[in-house]
A and B are shown apart, each in its own frame.
Chain A
């Protein structure tokens, strides 16, 4: 119900009254709802988000309808949720093929849309409840899973049959393309299955007509660690602004150094780095020291779910 001076917020399905002039935070606190984040960040599910409520937020957060409850004075009904929960849906595994000796491509058909951006990640749950996070390599739910010796989920997925049902939660993460400045140079760097989100971001950027140069670095120990090379070479031949650079440790040296040699100065660039935590930290530091602004670097570290 909304009349001239009463607005109804929806907080995860429960109605919360809001008087005109109130901030969302006022209304939530009055309803006894603890706002789950010290920065008062919440996510709008539907309803127009007042621009003033997104002041100072990163572009990737704005694009996901995040807003600051303490700044938001809604003028219309608004449906809200705590940040980063995503939705939980079921999906069927439809296809499974090997992209290399150790990297499996898994395609999933969800019951309903996850509403993700390519490059974000989801958490996949087996029927017994075991869950692991995987990056999304495209507009459809396509995952690149490295088979890890003794790994519970990766080996299960390697044996799973098409038609297998799984549960998905997400999306999460801020590694995705935002078309803010179509001429800004982009640097995408990762090792191993760190390529998965980068592959998604690359397709998204090209699909949205990004005009600035896009450099994709894929690091691997040796030739056998690379995958999707034919597809990436074909894309590079097709798009003049896209450069594909496989970097092999045994031939080219460490990935951060390969990047520094090609691009001693990265001032004004936007960067995406993904993969194992060690390489992600080294890469971010290298991009930053090259002159990239800290807030222009998005990173997803593939932290293992269990420790050795």
Chain B
């Protein structure tokens, strides 16, 4: 598969803007400093693009544990993947690449949701 590995700031903006506008999930991002969030969204995208970030499953569990405690579940996970797909589509990424990215995101589900 060929996915470019580092998202540009423009791509991060498109995705983060969708997440912040999505009432199903934006509550989890409330009150978080924007600069910090944008850096983290960049890590998120790098990760699902298969790029060079080294988060272990444990790291993913730790990063989201406080969100799981606040009720983070499968529907929220699906919403994030949906926003990811919509962002990539808006950026003109081919459908088969989008499904590869979604499949890569899927591999983190159990860790993110602390299952």
A residues near B, CB below 8 A? Answer: 281, 284-285, 288-289, 291, 293-295
What are 19 residue pairs bridging A and B, where the CB atoms are less than 8 Å apart in the complex? A281-B33, A284-B34, A285-B20, A285-B34, A288-B13, A288-B20, A288-B34, A289-B17, A289-B21, A291-B17, A293-B9, A293-B10, A293-B13, A294-B12, A294-B13, A294-B16, A294-B34, A294-B38, A295-B9
Q: Which A residues touch B34, using CB under 8 A?
A: 281, 284-285, 288, 294
Give complex CA distance A288, B10 in Å: 12
> A-side binding surface: helix, strand, loop or mixed?
helix
Closest Cβ of chain A: how far from B8's Cβ, in Å?
10
Residue-wise interface mask of B (1-25) relative to A, using a CB-CB cutoff of 8 A (1 in contact, 0 not): 0000000011011001100110000
Give complex CA distance A8, B85 in Å: 52
Give complex CA distance A285, B32 in Å: 11
Give complex CA distance A285, B20 in Å: 9
Give complex CA distance A289, B20 in Å: 8
In the complex, the chain B residue whose C-beta lies closest to that of A284 is B34
Please count the residue pairs between chain A and chain B whose beta carbons lie under 8 angstroms apart in the complex.
24
Q: Which A residues touch B9, using CB under 8 A?
A: 293-295
Give complex CA distance A295, B17 in Å: 13
Give complex CA distance A109, B87 in Å: 52
The 9 lowest CB-CB distance pairs between A and B, nearest first, are: A294-B13, A294-B38, A284-B34, A295-B9, A293-B13, A289-B20, A289-B17, A289-B21, A285-B34
Give complex CA distance A106, B21 in Å: 42
Give complex CA distance A289, B34 in Å: 12
Q: Which A residues touch B33, using CB under 8 A?
A: 281
Give complex CA distance A295, B20 in Å: 17
Which of B10, B17, B20, B33 has the largest count of A CB atoms less than 10 A from its CB? B17
Give complex CA distance A295, B34 in Å: 11
Q: Which B residues touch A289, using CB under 8 A?
A: 17, 20-21
Closest Cβ of chain A: how far from B33's Cβ, in Å?
7
Apart from A288-B17, A294-B9, 15 more pairs, CB < 8 Å: A281-B34, A285-B20, A285-B34, A288-B13, A288-B16, A288-B34, A289-B21, A291-B17, A293-B9, A293-B10, A293-B13, A294-B12, A294-B13, A294-B38, A295-B9
Interface residue ranges of B9-51 to A (CB < 8 Å):
9-10, 12-13, 16-17, 20-21, 33-34, 38
Q: Which B residues touch A293, using CB under 8 A?
A: 9-10, 13
In the complex, the chain B residue whose C-beta lies closest to that of A293 is B13
Q: Which B residues touch A291, using CB under 8 A?
A: 17
Give complex CA distance A293, B9 in Å: 9
Q: Which A residues touch B12, using CB under 8 A?
A: 294
Q: Which B residues touch A288, using CB under 8 A?
A: 13, 16-17, 20, 34
